[in-house]
Amino acid sequence: EDQVTQSPEALRLQEGESSSLNCSYTVSGLRGLFWYRQDPGKGPEFLFTLYSAGEEKEKERLKATLTKKESFLHITAPKPEDSATYLCAVQGGSEKLVFGKGTKLTVNP
């Protein structure tokens, strides 16, 4: 069974304090690993797709990386507007998307 574990559950940063979120996974036949951002009361917003180990994607202050067992979402010099819950999901051979429980990020000014 495909599984995703995200850590930490919650992270509090000061504005400008860089950090990383972790997503560990087990999947049969990885088709893709996805990162989403979710604001309270809203649907998840797509950020990145990673397909194979070694791949990296960047968008503004966010950079996602992938190994065979985990993915990291690096946040460089975060701003208060980066506060949200970040969700990681994997899609394996079953083609179902399996989500982790997310990391709630708070960036204080």
34/15 Cα distance (integer angstroms): 25
Q: Sort strands 70-75 and 84-91 into parallel, antiparallel or unpaired.
A: unpaired
Exactly one of 14, 60, 68, 95 binds another protein (CB under 8 A); that residue is 95
Taking contact as CB under 8 A, which single stretch among the options 11-19, 60-68, 69-77, 86-94 is the one that binds another protein? 86-94
Query: Which x/- pattern, by CB under 8 A, does the window 46-85 give for another protein?
Result: x--x------------------------------------
Q: How far is the CB of 103 from another protein (least distance, A)?
A: 12
